[in-house]
Structure formats: C-alpha cells, structure tokens
Amino acid sequence: MMQPDLLSSRPVRAAASAVSPPTTRGFPLVGVLPHLLKDRLDYLLSARDELGDLYTIDLGLTRLVALNHPRHAQHVLRDNARNYRKGGAIWESIRSLIGNGLPASEGDLWLRQRRMIQPEFHRDRLAAMCDLMVQAIDDGMAGFGAAAAAGRPVNAERELPHITMKVILNTMFGSGITKEEADAVGGSLQYAIDYMLLGAALQGLPRWIPAPGRRRFERSVKMIDEHVFRFIAQRRAHPGRSGDLLAILLATVDAETGEQMTNQQLRDEAVSMFLAGYETTSVSLAWALHFLVANPELQQALVAEVDAALGDRRPGFADVSKLPLALAVFQEALRLYPPAYWIPRTAIEDDEIDGFRIPAGAMVGVMSYVLHRHPDHWETPARFDPGRFTPERARGRHPLAFIPFGSGQRQCVGKEFALMEGQLILARLLQRFRVSAVPGRTTRLHVATTLRTSGGVWLRLEPRPGR
C-alpha cells in the first residue's frame, strides 16, 4: 500500500512580485568562504541576525540560499518537496559509496525502496531488534569497562563509535558476525566515509589523476563489498528465523510490484544504513555525555530514573518508555549539535519562499543548527535544558522547530531506532558507571561531516558498587 506521507507535496509557482533574497557581503571570487571556514556556525548565526531568516550566502563561484525558519523547512521538506531534489557534487560523491541506497536515490527507485524499508523500522520490528541492540551495546562497552577497571580516563568520542558500529552491524547482520569481521568492515567504512567527503571536493578531477587516498578508498569499498555480499549469500543459503534487518529485507516483497531486492540493492541499502546511522548517533551521544558531566544534578536525576526503571537488570523494549529523561537528554544534545547540521537541496523549478524568489537550479540549505537556536522558538537557545522536551513545555512549538532527523518524505527512516539506541546506551552506561569530567580537558566544537568535538569528551568512570 502507498504510504500517504510519501507523495504529499504539491508544486508552488513563484509570484511575479517576489524579490531576490539579501546577500552576504564577501570578497571577490571567494565571497564569504574565508569567514565560513573560520567559524562556520557562528557566522551563520550572526548572518541570520543581520540579514533575517532567509538570505543568500555568497561562496564566490557559487551561492547557497540559507533557510533558517521552521516555516521554510516546512515548505522545502514537506509542502513543496517535489520541487527540491538531492543534487550536486556532494551527492555524487556519496553515491560512490552507497550506490542507489535510500539516502541518495530519487524518483521511482527511491519510492519503491522506501515503501519496502520503512515498515521494517516500525514499533513491532524495533521491539524484535531491542535484544540484539542491548547485546551489541554490552559488547561494545568493553572499552569503557577496561578504562574504568584500570582507573584511566577515557575519551567517549573515541569509544562510542565502537558501540554504535556494533549496534548497526548486529541489528543489520545478526549476532553471528565475528569480532574480526566487525573490525574489518568498521575500519574500512570509517575510512571510506571520511574520504567520500574529500571526494566531493575532488569530483572535478579526471580519474587517472592519482588523488590522495583514492586507491585506499577503492580498496576499502572492495573490502566492504566482499564482506557484505558474503553475508547476503550466507543468509540466502540459510534463511533461518532471525530478526535482524538483513533477514527482513531479504524476505521483503514490494506490495505493488511483487519484486524482491537484488543483491546489489541489498548491499547499497546495508552500506547506507552504516553511513547514515553510526557516526550520527555516536557523536550526538558524546555531546549528551559532555553536558551530563558538566551538570551533576541532571546526572543524578537521570541515574535515579534509570535505577527506578531498571535496577541492575538488562533493559527490554517495554522499558524504553520508562526512560523519558534519557530521551530528553539525547534530544537536547541533538538540538544544540544536530549531526546533520544542514539539509541541502536543489530547486527544480522557480519557486517563492516568504516573498523571496528562488530560481530554478538554486542550491538551498535548511539550516538545522540555526533553526534549532531560533530565538522565536527556543527560550535561552544556547542553554542545555532537556526540560524543553517535556510535553508541557513542547506544547505549541512549531513542529519543524526541531528537525535533527529532517522531515517530510525524506525524513530519517532510522529515527525511532536511533532514539531508542541513544536512550539505551545512556541507561546502560549509567547503570554500570558513575561518570565525571576530567579536570583540565576542554571540549570544543569541530565542524566536519557531522558536528564533532576537538579535544574529545574525556570522562572518568568508576564502576558502581555491585554492578
């Protein structure tokens, strides 16, 4: 059956009276690039203060229309989504790793795949995946355990990716995957993802020019493919009854066409899930821990919630709803530092937003980072305050004032999965350890593919008595 949300957009035409948006003033040829490279996000905040919610960023050779109001997000991601596609160098580069996987595909192929994949993330499926997830979290937490036992401080930003990678591998391929396989795939993926973004900058170069790192990128993709195709072949040979994602995707049939996914499409979707779902979750959890250790009262309240809900037993799916503060802490970290800090699109036809003309071919960006700090929608926006997400305080807020997972037809398919994972990782960590900051260590924002830190998030962990 067709998902009603998937095709809900209607085209809007630009009115003749629309005017061009105000533009940032920059240097000849390079525009405001030097400012952006220096302090990208502060620059975007101050440009909004100066020019308003919608303005054009002059990048020298190219331009980007910055959209900073929930109303704009509503227009581009929902009401007129059909007029905005995922195009340009960055998406070409991403396709070199994930092929026709869901995040990069468009049109009929995207719709067919989305129809098949979306139901696999519904509540009953998540319930079935919860045990695999908790097992992976416990296995992945070995590094935290070792540091606590040795009394060594640990950089959570380095440790958390081991957990989130294990979670995605186990839930995707089942717990049968060995540690060696997980490490091999994990290492290659990490390299390929980092290279891919550099790849966007190198797109213009002919392939015979030996771009730095390209050979290793190609070797990494080959290694990922060998493993993933082998997992697929094994599972086709022995389907079994496991609840992991691969088993489910292998059995999925498109209700309209009766077709199943090919091995290549399965590979593309599996690699897409890694790309979309592993660093995003780990980096936002690192921020959540950064704020938790800076705020001992909040941490105490969270420990009390976790102890009341779980004691020292392993959480199950029914416990997830008993951890609202864990959810709010994770959401507040996603508000202040959304890993996908802007959502790029290209206009297909002329359009109009808030009375401004958006010409066909214009690159637009929904600036989640700025929108999440919009003073009309968030009180004292720079403050870490999970209480904003209680139903009482969230009442009346624009539904698109908080969009870490995007919105509309391309909204993150793994949203509920990621939120559950965040809650469970925080709960499991606080069940086992008392967590505090390491004096003298400072965490600063480092803008990369996602919003990472420079300096890491250093923690001191103490095993809790009896745990």
Which range of residues in 23-31, 128-136, 140-148, 271-279 is near ligand HEM by CB under 6 A? Answer: 271-279
Maximum CA pair distance of the chain? Answer: 71
Round to whole Å and give the CA distance between 275 and 252.
Answer: 22
Closest to ligand HEM by CB, 21 vs 339, is 339
Orientation angle between helical segments 156-173 and 123-140, nearest 10 degrees? 130
C-alpha distance from residue 439 to each of 59, 153, 384, 426 (Å): 40, 10, 20, 22
**147 is a site residue for ligand HEM (CB under 6 A):** no
Closest to ligand HEM by CB, 51 vs 76, is 76
**453 is a site residue for ligand HEM (CB under 6 A):** no
**140 is a site residue for ligand HEM (CB under 6 A):** no
**417 is a site residue for ligand HEM (CB under 6 A):** yes
Q: How far is the CB of 108 from ligand HEM (least distance, A)?
A: 13
- The type of residue at 248 is I
**414 is a site residue for ligand HEM (CB under 6 A):** yes
**114 is a site residue for ligand HEM (CB under 6 A):** yes
Closest to ligand HEM by CB, 402 vs 460, is 402
The site for ligand HEM, by CB under 6 A, has a size of: 22
Q: How far is the CB of 113 from ligand HEM (least distance, A)?
A: 8
What is the residue whose two structure tokens read 């440790």?
A: 159
Contacts of 137 (CB under 8 A, 6+ apart): 163, 166, 167, 421, 424, 425, 428
User: Which of 161, 199, 406, 456 contacts ligand HEM by CB under 6 A?
Assistant: 406
Whose CB is nearest to ligand HEM?
Answer: 414
Contact 314, 134 (CB under 8 A): yes
Which range of residues in 47-55, 253-261, 374-382, 401-409 is near ligand HEM by CB under 6 A? Answer: 401-409
Q: How far is the CB of 333 from ligand HEM (least distance, A)?
A: 9
Closest to ligand HEM by CB, 24 vs 281, is 281
Instruction: Give the single-character DSSP code of 318.
Output: G
Tokens (6 digits) for 6: 């998937």
Closest to ligand HEM by CB, 191 vs 342, is 342
**103 is a site residue for ligand HEM (CB under 6 A):** yes
Round to whole Å and give the CA distance between 54 and 71.
Answer: 11
CA dihedral (405, 410, 416, 417) positive or negative:
negative
Instruction: Give the single-character DSSP code of 46.
Output: H
Closest to ligand HEM by CB, 412 vs 457, is 412
**369 is a site residue for ligand HEM (CB under 6 A):** no
C-alpha distance from residue 202 to each of 195, 212, 350 (Å): 10, 10, 30
Give buried/exposed letters for 178-193 (b at 16+ CB in 10 A, else e): eeeebeebbebbbbbb
**74 is a site residue for ligand HEM (CB under 6 A):** no
- 10 — alpha (psi -120 to 50), left (phi > 0) or beta? beta
Which range of residues in 194-202, 269-277, 347-355, 429-437 is near ligand HEM by CB under 6 A? Answer: 269-277
Cα 337–chain centre separation: 11
Contact 14, 351 (CB under 8 A): yes
Q: How far is the CB of 281 from ligand HEM (least distance, A)?
A: 4
In DSSP terms, which residues pair with 463 in a beta bridge?
A: 433
Closest to ligand HEM by CB, 292 vs 437, is 292
Length of the chain: 467
Q: How far is the CB of 178 from ligand HEM (least distance, A)?
A: 21
User: Which of 98, 134, 189, 273 contacts ligand HEM by CB under 6 A?
Assistant: 273
**284 is a site residue for ligand HEM (CB under 6 A):** yes
Q: How far is the CB of 172 from ligand HEM (least distance, A)?
A: 8
Closest to ligand HEM by CB, 246 vs 413, is 413
**82 is a site residue for ligand HEM (CB under 6 A):** no
**Interface positions, 287-346, toward ligand HEM (CB under 6 A):** 339-340, 343
Contact 372, 336 (CB under 8 A): yes
Q: How far is the CB of 448 from ligand HEM (least distance, A)?
A: 14
User: Which of 56, 220, 272, 453 contacts ligand HEM by CB under 6 A?
Assistant: 272
Round to whole Å and give the CA distance between 279 and 283.
Answer: 6
Alpha-carbon dihedral of residues 404, 353, 103, 257, nearest 10 degrees? Answer: 120
Round to whole Å and give the CA distance between 366 and 363.
Answer: 10
Tokens (6 digits) for 66: 């910055």
Q: How far is the CB of 412 from ligand HEM (least distance, A)?
A: 3
Round to whole Å and give the CA distance between 401 and 260.
Answer: 38
Q: How far is the CB of 214 from ligand HEM (least distance, A)?
A: 26
Applying CB under 6 A, the residues found at the interface with ligand HEM are: 102-103, 114, 272-273, 276-277, 280-281, 284, 339-340, 343, 404-406, 410, 412-414, 417-418
